[in-house]
């Protein structure tokens, strides 16, 4: 058995091909603030916030498979490829790493702007809302909750930047508008995906729509750049995420994207 065959169940467990779509939400939130506030909102604080976002995403996927282990046939847990004990350990590890990364981001933001009041940073309320939406979605499967997961992910980036640079009505409104667009888009995609398990055409289209959020992210980054924000580095990062997803799709054709 090759190394890839050994790790393939975990790649499917975590839907790895979708991972590059996650930090782009944080970049959009940061760019929404940067377009109106300027300042140094990138750097390691943003990288740590992106890492936290990815860990919370992986936590959500692990939690989803654990909750649905009895009914989601074809997934690694019911197929016996990953034990429930290991799945729960992975879920706990992802949550723990997410909290650590978020705390690191908050500490870095505080070092940039001690006037933000606390090293915990404004991003913690956004993260709490994000994790709550993930937890509730996995147990209710309501499509709006999935949309809120992405919306709060945008706000995770925005609140990190707001604490670093301060905020005005314009930047807060821009971030909220981006979060609303993300919520509506992903809610609609999730609604459309219902029943994809027995409909291969719908499953394929859902994968395309989920991947389409990377292009939406790039479009938003371009728009915020046009508004004058110092977001060229964010544009480069967004393009790199798109490339990473394309590479994963080609390299891991057996890893489902939805």
Which position has the higher pLDDT, 256 or 73? 73
The answer to whether residues 53 and 181 touch, using CB atoms and an 8 Å cutoff, is: no
pLDDT tens, residue by residue, 183-218: 999 999 999 998 887 888 888 898 889 889 999 999
- Residue 28 in any domain: the answer is yes
| pLDDT score, position 158 | 92
Q: What would you report as the CA-atom Rg of the chain, rounded to the nearest whole angstrom? A: 18
67 vs 134: CA distance, rounded Å: 12
- Residue 2 in any domain: the answer is no
Percentage of the chain lying above the pLDDT 70 cut: 91
- Residue 192 in any domain: the answer is yes
- Residue 226 in any domain: the answer is yes
Which position has the higher pLDDT, 79 or 90? 90
Highest mean pLDDT among 42-56, 68-82, 140-154 belongs to 140-154
- Residue 258 in any domain: the answer is no
103 vs 231: CA distance, rounded Å: 24
Owning domain of residue 145: 18-251
Query: Taking all residues of the chain, what is their mean pLDDT, rounded to a whole number?
Result: 88
| pLDDT score, position 256 | 64
How many structural domains compose the chain? Answer: 1
- Residue 241 in any domain: the answer is yes
Within 13 Å of residue 121, how many CA atoms lie on the same side as its CB?
Answer: 34
122 vs 217: CA distance, rounded Å: 22
Flag whether pLDDT at 40 surpasses 80.
no
- Residue 43 in any domain: the answer is yes
CA neighbor of 48 nearest in space, from 116, 98, 14: 98
Flag whether pLDDT at 118 surpasses 80.
no
Question: Taking the complete model, does pTM exceed 0.75, yes or no?
Answer: yes
- Residue 41 in any domain: the answer is yes
- CATH number, domain of 26, equals 1.10.357.140
The torsion defined by the Cα of 51, 52, 56 and 59, in degrees rounded to 10, comes to 70
pLDDT tens, residue by residue, 130-159: 999 999 999 999 999 999 999 999 999 998
């Amino acid at each position: 058995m090759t190394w890839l065959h050994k790790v393939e169940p975990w790649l499917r467990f975590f839907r790895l091909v979708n991972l590059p779509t996650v930090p782009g939400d944080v970049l959009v939130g940061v760019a929404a603030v940067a377009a109106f506030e300027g300042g140094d909102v990138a750097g390691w604080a943003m990288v740590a916030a992106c890492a936290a976002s990815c860990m919370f995403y992986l936590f959500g996927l692990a939690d989803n498979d654990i909750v649905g282990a009895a009914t989601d046939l074809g997934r690694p847990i019911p197929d016996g490829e990953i034990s429930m004990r290991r799945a729960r350990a992975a879920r706990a590890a992802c949550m723990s790493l997410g909290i650590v990364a978020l705390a690191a981001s908050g500490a870095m933001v505080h070092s940039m702007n001690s006037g933000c009041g606390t090293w915990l940073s404004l991003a913690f309320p956004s993260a709490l809302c994000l994790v709550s939406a993930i937890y509730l979605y996995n147990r209710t499967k309501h499509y709006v909750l999935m949309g809120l997961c992405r919306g709060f992910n945008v706000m995770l980036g925005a609140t990190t930047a707001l604490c670093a640079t301060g905020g005005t009505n314009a930047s807060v409104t821009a971030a909220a508008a981006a979060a609303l667009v993300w919520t509506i888009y992903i809610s609609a995609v999730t609604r459309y995906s219902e029943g994809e398990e027995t409909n291969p055409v719908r499953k394929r289209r859902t994968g395309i729509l989920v991947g389409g959020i990377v292009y939406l992210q790039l479009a938003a980054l371009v728009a915020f750049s046009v508004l004058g924000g110092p977001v060229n580095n964010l544009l480069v990062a967004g393009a790199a995420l798109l490339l990473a997803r394309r590479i994963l799709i080609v390299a891991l054709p057996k890893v489902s994207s939805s």
